[in-house]
């Protein structure tokens, strides 16, 4: 079963991305990635650039509305996502707890929806 | 009634609730097998106590008072159920018992039966511990959920399902027969140990699950010991947990820094807890029936010796691990064995023990990688060690452990 870990990070975590090689947060992420590969559960995923790079688009009554910044105004922002193939939600939650972002921000766990994908793709 | 009197009444209610919860629930459901209704009835009784006791004073026998109130609530509940016909026998039973019941506290302790019900083979093993924590100790689903890393709603549903199975599935409230007792008792002990959740606390190989329930687990083991004072393994389990608990303070340094067992300041270990653990272990040993938990406690006892002698007798630890891996060849035991061999003889020998474990089994088992990294580092195999360190860091949940391992990795 596939799950997405949606990784929410505070500004400090985004800042750590440009820190030097010895940064603990960076090191933790490197190790976490290796552990995911080693356990054979990683399907895919990607980090996102910081929320200051975000642009949000809406169409309201036919009018384009473009907003600088992310969709939701919150201290913790979506920093990336990881897709895992694991046997159960319990296993996905285990991996979420090990994610370095879990101790500084939050990790939301959601099952992917292959049924909906089939309806959309036909 | 003055404010401080009220406060002390509330404290009394809390204390009675804590100490009597399991006894009362066990007794209330021992005939009906309806754990959920018994819990509801007891919580109604506790609410009633909160209004009545501050006004009228704490009854002479608080436990009996709660039992009577809970029983009334249970009878009301059964009466109000639509299925009056089906529940008539239950009602009859409750009425008869009510007649016998006087306000004395002399009601049988059925907690042992309830513990065996919670760890019954017909119940999902993953629910053994949560059921015990809820029915014997009265912990709420949310608290249990956090410790077991599931959502509170999910834990609530799983608990309800398990209790329905107990009520409707024909699970008997009884202490198992001699023949099946060892196996059934093992399930009870396992469930209590799962709540403790320290797994294996050497070289930063830590399974964090349920760790904040350590005190509750010790409480459960004490309850079990009260009702099964003759069982060596019950004492073994209690001794094991007390030894680990004795080191709680020494496990963290300034700013929450993680300190592995071998580097802990033994002066910070709790001597009274160690002494109590040793007493239980000696008493267990005198029964001449060794078992998994006694062996694990014996290993911790050797570690505790360092507080006195200043050194660790690794050869003794290896011997205990050899026995342990024969009767309980779990990943944790085999990893612990490898670490001990690595200390007692040489890192190569430790690695050889690790290499006998199927790599498939340890892809997500953190302690294995922590020990492997440590042994490789001692051999001077820097790049292999770094790889193993990364796996151990990536599988760690505690940021302090992660930090510690990253520093070791260099």
Supply the CATH number for residue A19's domain.
3.30.70.1060
Strand bridging mode A106-111 / A42-47: unpaired
pLDDT score recorded for residue A93: 94
Which one of A34, A37, A82 makes the best mutation probe of the B interface by having the most chain B beta carbons within 10 Å? Answer: A34
Residue-wise pLDDT tens digits, B178-207: 888 888 999 999 999 988 876 555 666 665
| B213 pLDDT tier (thresholds 50, 70, 90) | confident
pLDDT of residue B212 exceeding 80, the answer is no
pLDDT score recorded for residue B214: 86
pLDDT score recorded for residue B9: 84
pLDDT score recorded for residue B102: 47
Give the other-Cβ count within 10 Å of A16's Cβ: 17
| A15 pLDDT tier (thresholds 50, 70, 90) | very high
| B1 pLDDT tier (thresholds 50, 70, 90) | low
Q: CB distance A31–B391 less than 8 Å?
A: yes
Higher pLDDT, A39 or B147: A39
Residue-wise pLDDT tens digits, B75-97: 888 777 755 555 566 666 666 56
Domain at B313-410: CATH code: 1.25.40.10
pLDDT score recorded for residue B203: 62
Identity of the residue in B391, B406, B409 whose CB atom sits nearest the CB atom of A35: B391
pLDDT of residue B405 exceeding 70, the answer is yes
CB–CB contacts below 8 A, A to B: 58
Q: State which residue of chain B sits closest to A108, comparing Cα positions.
A: B151
Q: Domain locations in chain B?
A: 1-103, 111-167+182-196+203-228, 231-248+263-301, 313-410
Q: State which residue of chain B sits closest to A94, comparing Cα positions.
A: B149
- What is the C-alpha to C-alpha distance for residues B293 and B225, in angstroms, rounded to an integer? 14
Q: What angle do CA B168, B172, B174 make, to 5 degrees?
A: 155
pLDDT score recorded for residue A53: 95
| Alpha-carbon distance B45 to nearest alpha carbon in chain A (angstroms) | 36
SS3 A16: helix
pLDDT of residue B64 exceeding 70, the answer is yes
Q: CB distance A31–B394 less than 8 Å?
A: yes
| Alpha-carbon distance A47 to nearest alpha carbon in chain B (angstroms) | 17
Average pLDDT, chain B: 89
pLDDT score recorded for residue B95: 61
Q: CB distance B390–A39 less than 8 Å?
A: no
Residues of A in contact with B396 (CB under 8 A): 98
DSSP state of A105: S
Which one of B364, B365, B383, B389 makes the best mutation probe of the A interface by having the most chain A beta carbons within 10 Å? Answer: B364
Q: State which residue of chain A sits closest to B365, comparing Cα positions.
A: A39
Q: CB distance A40–B363 less than 8 Å?
A: yes
pLDDT of residue B98 exceeding 60, the answer is no
pLDDT score recorded for residue B103: 45
Q: Which of B17, B94, B19 is nearest to B48 (CA)?
A: B17
Distances from the Cα of A53 to the Cαs of A12, A74, A82, B406, in angstroms? 16, 15, 20, 31
| Alpha-carbon distance B364 to nearest alpha carbon in chain A (angstroms) | 6
| B104 pLDDT tier (thresholds 50, 70, 90) | very low
| B2 pLDDT tier (thresholds 50, 70, 90) | low
pLDDT of residue B353 exceeding 60, the answer is yes
Residues of A in contact with B397 (CB under 8 A): 97-98, 102
Q: Which of B210, B160, B213, B201 is nearest to B35 (CA)?
A: B160
pLDDT score recorded for residue B18: 82
- What is the C-alpha to C-alpha distance for residues B195 and B218, in angstroms, rounded to an integer? 9
Q: State which residue of chain A sits closest to B126, comparing Cα positions.
A: A90
pLDDT score recorded for residue B375: 97
pLDDT score recorded for residue B216: 87
Residue-wise pLDDT tens digits, B126-147: 999 999 999 999 999 998 998 8
pLDDT score recorded for residue B377: 97
- What is the C-alpha to C-alpha distance for residues B46 and B25, in angstroms, rounded to an integer? 12
pLDDT score recorded for residue B90: 64
pLDDT-above-70 percentage for chain B? 90
Name residues whose C-beta falls within 8 Å of residue B308's C-beta, 6 or more positions apart in sequence: none
Residue-wise pLDDT tens digits, A45-77: 999 999 999 999 999 999 999 999 999 889 999
pLDDT score recorded for residue B227: 87
Q: What ipTM was predicted for this assembly? A: 0.86
Q: CB distance A97–B391 less than 8 Å?
A: no
pLDDT score recorded for residue B89: 60
pLDDT score recorded for residue B215: 87
Q: Which domain holds residue A16?
A: 2-121
pLDDT of residue B36 exceeding 80, the answer is yes
Say if CB B375 and CB B340 are below 8 A apart: no
Residues of B in contact with A30 (CB under 8 A): 390
Among chain A, residues having any CB pair with chain B shorter than 8 Å are 24, 27-28, 30-36, 38-40, 89-90, 93-94, 97-98, 100, 102-103
Which one of A19, A31, A107 makes the best mutation probe of the B interface by having the most chain B beta carbons within 10 Å? Answer: A31
pLDDT score recorded for residue B210: 57
Mean pLDDT computed over B341-345: 96
pLDDT score recorded for residue B322: 97
3-state secondary structure chain B: CCHHHHHHHHHHHHHHHHHHHHHHHHHHHCCCCCHHHHHHHHHHHHHHHHHHHHHHCCCCCHHHHHHHHHHHHHHHHHHHCCCHHHHHHHHHHHHHHHHHCCCCCCCCCCHHHHHHHHCCCCCCHHHHHHHHHHHCCCCCHHHHHHHCCCCHHHHHHHHHHHHHHHHHCCCCCCCCCCCCHHHHHHHHHHHHHHHHCCCCCCCCCCCCCCHHHHHHHHHHHHHHHHHCCCCHHHHHHHHHHHHHHHCCHHHECHHHCECCHHHCCHHHCCHHHHHHHHHHHHHHHCCCCCCHHHHHHHHHHHHHHHHHHCCCCHHHHHHHHHHHHHHCCCHHHHHHHHHHHHHHCCHHHHHHHHHCCCHHHHCCCHHHHHHHHHHHHHCCCHHHHHHHHHHHHHHCCCHHHHHHHHHHHC
Question: How many distinct structural domains can be found in chain A?
Answer: 1
Mean pLDDT computed over B274-301: 95
pLDDT-above-90 percentage for chain B? 63
What would you measure as the largest C-alpha separation in chain A, in angstroms?
Answer: 51
Mean pLDDT computed over B225-235: 93
């Amino acid at each position: 079963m596939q799950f997405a870990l949606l990784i929410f990070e505070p500004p400090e975590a985004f800042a750590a991305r440009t820190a030097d090689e010895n940064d603990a947060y960076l090191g933790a992420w490197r190790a976490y990635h290796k552990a995911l590969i080693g356990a054979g559960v990683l399907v895919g995923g990607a980090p996102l650039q910081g929320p200051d790079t975000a642009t949000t688009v809406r169409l309201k009554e036919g009018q384009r509305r473009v907003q600088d910044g992310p969709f939701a105004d919150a201290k913790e922002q979506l920093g990336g996502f990881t897709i895992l193939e694991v046997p159960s939600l319990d296993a996905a939650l285990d991996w979420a707890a090990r994610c370095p972002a879990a101790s500084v921000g939050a990790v939301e766990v959601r099952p992917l929806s292959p049924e909906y994908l089939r309806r959309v793709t036909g | 009634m003055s404010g401080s009197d009220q406060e002390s009444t509330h404290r009394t209610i809390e204390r009675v609730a804590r100490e009597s919860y399991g006894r009362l629930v066990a007794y209330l459901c021992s005939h009906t097998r309806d754990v959920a209704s018994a819990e509801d009835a007891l919580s109604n009784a506790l609410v009633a106590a909160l209004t009545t006791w501050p006004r009228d004073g704490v009854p002479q026998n608080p436990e009996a008072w709660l039992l009577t109130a809970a029983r009334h609530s249970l009878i009301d509940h059964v009466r109000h159920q639509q299925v009056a016909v089906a529940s008539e026998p239950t009602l009859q039973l409750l009425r008869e018992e009510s007649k016998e019941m006087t306000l004395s506290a002399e009601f049988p302790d059925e907690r042992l039966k309830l513990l065996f019900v919670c760890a019954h083979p017909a119940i999902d093993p993953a629910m053994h511990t949560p059921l015990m924590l809820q029915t014997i100790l009265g912990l709420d689903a949310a608290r249990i959920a956090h410790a077991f890393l599931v959502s509170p709603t999910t834990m609530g549903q799983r608990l309800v399902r398990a209790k329905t199975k107990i009520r409707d599935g024909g699970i008997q409230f009884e202490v198992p027969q001699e023949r099946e007792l060892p196996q059934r008792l093992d399930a009870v002990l396992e469930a209590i140990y799962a709540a403790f959740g320290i797994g294996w606390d050497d070289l930063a190989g830590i399974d964090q699950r349920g760790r904040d329930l350590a005190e509750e687990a010790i409480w459960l083991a004490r309850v079990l010991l009260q009702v099964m004072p003759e069982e060596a393994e019950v004492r073994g389990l209690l001794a094991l947990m007390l030894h680990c608990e004795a080191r709680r303070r020494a496990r963290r340094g300034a700013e929450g820094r993680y300190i592995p067992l071998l580097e802990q300041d033994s002066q910070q270990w709790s001597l009274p807890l160690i002494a109590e653990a040793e007493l239980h272990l000696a008493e267990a040993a005198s029964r001449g029936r060794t078992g998994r938990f006694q062996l694990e406690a014996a290993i911790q006892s050797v570690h505790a010796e360092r507080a006195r002698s200043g050194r660790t007798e690794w050869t003794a630890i290896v011997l205990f691990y050899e026995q342990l891996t024969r009767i309980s060849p779990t990943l944790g035991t085999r990893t612990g064995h490898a670490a001990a061999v690595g200390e007692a003889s040489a890192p190569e020998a430790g690695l050889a023990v690790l290499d006998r474990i199927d790599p498939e089994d340890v892809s997500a088992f953190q302690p294995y990688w922590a020990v492997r990294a440590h042994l490789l580092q001692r051999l001077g195999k820097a790049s292999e060690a770094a790889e193993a360190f990364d796996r151990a860091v990536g599988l760690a949940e505690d940021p302090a452990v992660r930090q510690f391992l990253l520093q070791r990795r260099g």
